[in-house]
């Protein structure tokens, strides 16, 4: 280690920590640790390797410092993020203060927030100056994607939060040995996080919360926050770095689950699926009878003339609302039996966690994110405080706790992708399941055109229809036109690209009643699997290929043991042409703001418009699926 680095860090480390850092022969890493220590000025530095002893030390530190509290079940803990009132809290991603640091005069296009790099670094230096005085700086090593793989990205996380470090132990593969293999060269991601001043174990300076991403250095800064979406650097913050790396190297980094869907005669087909937060992504990936590779983030590469995918993570950081033994039996079991689990922002009563929609009555009193709680308690704004934070109570567990974990979840070669699904919350327009005509049509009309109604996972009003291409807009670190172009080109690199589908679990009738039951998604996924293998037909419509009634009727009986009536089919798969046309116009306006958007995007959208208008002239504003069977699209 360089002597100047040694002079900074050695007084703050014990012999074990110093030896672990010196064993990693990478001067860039040493410089990062030394610079962080000199800036943040911790009382001590703890460097951790992949050992059980180091991971257990972190877990105990989280309890000792009060960032987590032990629950009744051994190995289970609870963490609360700051909540002052409905206007000021640390319960969701802070979009307003998340910025990319760019050289003066550079930007990433409309809708992507940037800040002059020198200005941002100066501000961050001021915020971090001495912020760890009296604290322990934790240096952790992880790997995004399977280790010893073309998909592997080593990462180092520096934090003063044992909760953040403990969470990453559950969610990501250990990476100390990966850094040993990296040696003196090679690219890795860096994260520097400081929770800042704490009061009652939660962040006290929320107005000074900042999350800055330095793309030049593959470095994420996060300060004055504990909420995992802002502080656990390897999740969505590292996704931003990975998207840029993928753009440079010719692969895709996506906000997608990966799952294996079981077909007839022992067949298995792997799907990826992109959904905005709280739109059904985890529940889809965890469908009973199927196998899960990962529920949130995926890397996709072309290998041997096929597209393969890996789970970036090795754990689940999921929304816990409506997880119950009926709707999510495997998750519900895990949350009661896992060897280790972290709950966040739930209600605790008698050292037991409770959450909304868990299938039983909740206690009238307890402790939650707002402190001591009782039914009817209101915040300083006069809003009633829910027992657990609606839409953003969370849990973190290791994937190995799942009985339905796919045997290839850690395969360094990835799994072959047969289908790609895009889905969001759409109460008015989209049919429950639809197949694109081809790769380009799917990328444009289902991926790049994705809209969704907002949830509590991000700050701001709920229920607002937002444009969110590939469910990844919040995390883009390259211009949107280049991102869409990369997707279009990616499928063209293989002879038989995956089929593309869309789903919508949230369709309602005029009275606001859901037209889909919660378990219907099991039928939609089975239909998609059979379509890939040519086992079922489809009806060609103006927006894509829709299921035939007879096939869905048989699948409802086989998969759910229930009948499926024609009236439900007609209501669910009725195309509302005015709404479809209005959506295309909204999408064209949004995509048109990106100056380099490929021309094929607008060609595809205009073709969709022409088909819809043709049908409108033929049958009126509503096109029922049986209408489609009686005619051929010209």
- Catalytic residues, by residue number, are 279
Containing 466, the helix (H) or strand (E) segment is strand 465-467
Instruction: Output the CA torsion sign for 427, 431, 435, 438.
Output: negative
Q: Which among 583, 580, 565, 564 is positioned nearest to 623, based on CA atoms?
A: 580
3-class state of residue 216 by DSSP: coil
- The pair phi, psi for residue 155, each rounded to 5°, is -140, 145
Containing 76, the helix (H) or strand (E) segment is strand 76-79
Q: For residue 572, with 0-12 CB atoms within 10 Å meaning exposed, 13-18 middle and 19 or more buried, which class applies? A: buried
* Whole-number Å distance between alpha carbons of 330 and 333: 5
* Whole-number Å distance between alpha carbons of 82 and 371: 10
> Over the range 60-69, which residues count as b (16 or more CB within 10 Å of their CB) and which as e?
ebbeebebbb
Q: Which among 252, 233, 254 is positioned nearest to 296, based on CA atoms?
A: 254
* Whole-number Å distance between alpha carbons of 189 and 219: 6
Do the beta carbons of residue 498 and residue 419 sit within 8 Å? yes
Q: Both tokens of residue 72?
A: 């009744």
SS (H, E, C) 302-369: EECCEEEEEECCCEEEEECCCCCCCCCHHHHHHHHHCCCEEEECCEEECCEEECCCCCCCCCCEEEEC
Q: Both tokens of residue 289?
A: 């009878």
**The total number of residues written for the chain in this structure:** 634
* Whole-number Å distance between alpha carbons of 84 and 78: 19
Strands 306-311 and 415-423: antiparallel
* Whole-number Å distance between alpha carbons of 95 and 195: 18
C-alpha triplet 111, 113, 118: angle, nearest 5°: 150
Strands 415-423 and 268-274: parallel
Do the beta carbons of residue 179 and residue 142 sit within 8 Å? no
* Whole-number Å distance between alpha carbons of 297 and 320: 18
* Whole-number Å distance between alpha carbons of 169 and 140: 9
The residue behind tokens 């300083």 is 380
Q: Which among 347, 92, 82, 342 is positioned nearest to 202, based on CA atoms?
A: 82
C-alpha triplet 574, 575, 580: angle, nearest 5°: 155
Q: Both tokens of residue 139?
A: 């240096």
Do the beta carbons of residue 58 and residue 48 sit within 8 Å? yes
């Amino acid at each position: 280690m360089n002597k100047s680095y040694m002079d900074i860090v050695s007084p703050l480390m014990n012999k074990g920590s110093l030896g672990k850092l010196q064993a990693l022969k990478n001067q860039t890493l040493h410089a990062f640790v030394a610079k962080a220590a000199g800036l943040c000025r911790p009382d001590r530095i703890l460097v951790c390797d992949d050992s059980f002893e180091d991971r257990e030390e972190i877990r105990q530190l989280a309890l000792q410092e009060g960032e987590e509290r032990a629950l009744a079940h051994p190995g289970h803990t609870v963490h609360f993020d700051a909540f002052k009132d409905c206007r000021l809290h640390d319960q969701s991603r802070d979009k307003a203060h998340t910025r990319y640091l760019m050289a003066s005069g550079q930007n990433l296009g409309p809708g992507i927030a940037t800040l002059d790099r020198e200005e941002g670094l100066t501000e961050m230096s001021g915020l971090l100056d001495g912020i760890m005085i009296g604290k322990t700086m934790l240096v952790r090593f992880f790997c995004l994607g399977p280790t010893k793989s073309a998909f592997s990205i080593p990462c180092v996380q520096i934090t003063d939060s044992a909760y953040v470090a403990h969470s990453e132990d559950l969610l990501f593969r250990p990476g100390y040995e990966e850094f040993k293999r990296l040696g003196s060269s090679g690219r890795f991601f860096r994260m520097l996080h400081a929770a800042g001043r704490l009061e009652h174990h939660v962040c006290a300076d929320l107005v000074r919360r900042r999350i800055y991403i330095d793309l030049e250095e593959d470095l994420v800064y996060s300060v004055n926050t504990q909420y995992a979406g802002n502080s656990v650097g390897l999740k969505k913050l590292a996704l931003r770095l990975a998207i840029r790396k993928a753009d440079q190297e010719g692969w895709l980094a996506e906000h997608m689950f990966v799952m294996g869907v079981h077909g007839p005669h022992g067949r298995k087909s792997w799907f990826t699926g992109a959904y905005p937060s709280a739109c059904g992504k985890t529940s889809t990936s965890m469908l009973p009878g199927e196998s899960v590779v990962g529920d949130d983030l995926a890397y996709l590469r072309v290998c041997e003339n096929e597209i393969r995918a890996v789970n970036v993570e090795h754990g689940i950081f999921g929304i816990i609302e409506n997880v119950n033994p009926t709707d999510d039996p495997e998750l519900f079991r895990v949350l009661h039996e896992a060897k280790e689990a972290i709950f966040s922002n739930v209600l605790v009563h008698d050292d037991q966690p409770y959450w909304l929609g868990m299938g039983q009555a909740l206690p009238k009193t307890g402790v939650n994110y707002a402190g001591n709680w009782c039914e009817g308690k209101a915040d300083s704004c006069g809003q009633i405080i829910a027992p657990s934070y609606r839409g953003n109570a969370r849990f973190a567990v290791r994937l190995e706790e799942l009985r339905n974990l796919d045997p290839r979840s850690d395969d360094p070669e990835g799994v072959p992708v047969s289908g790609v699904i895009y889905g969001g919350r759409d109460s008015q327009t989209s049919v429950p399941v639809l197949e694109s005509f081809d790769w380009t049509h799917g990328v444009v009309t289902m991926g790049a055109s994705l809209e969704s109604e907002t949830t509590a996972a991000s700050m701001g009003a709920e229920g607002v229809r937002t444009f969110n291409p590939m469910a990844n807009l919040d995390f883009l670190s390259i211009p949107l036109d280049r991102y869409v172009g990369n997707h279009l080109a990616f499928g063209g690199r293989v002879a038989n690209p995956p089929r593309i589908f869309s789903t919508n679990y949230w369709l309602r009738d005029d009275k606001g009643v859901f037209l889909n039951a919660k378990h219907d998604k099991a039928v939609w996924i089975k239909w998609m699997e059979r379509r890939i293998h040519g086992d079922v037909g489809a009806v060609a419509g103006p927006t894509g290929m829709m299921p035939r009634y007879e096939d869905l009727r048989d699948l409802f009986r086989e998969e759910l043991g229930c009948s499926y009536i024609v009236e439900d089919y007609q209501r669910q798969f009725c195309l509302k042409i005015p709404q479809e046309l209005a959506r295309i116009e909204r999408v064209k306006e949004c995509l048109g703001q990106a100056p380099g958007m490929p021309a094929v995007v607008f060609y595809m959208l205009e073709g969709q418009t022409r088909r819809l208008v043709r049908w409108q002239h033929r049958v009126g504003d509503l096109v029922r699926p049986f209408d489609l069977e009686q005619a051929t699209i010209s």
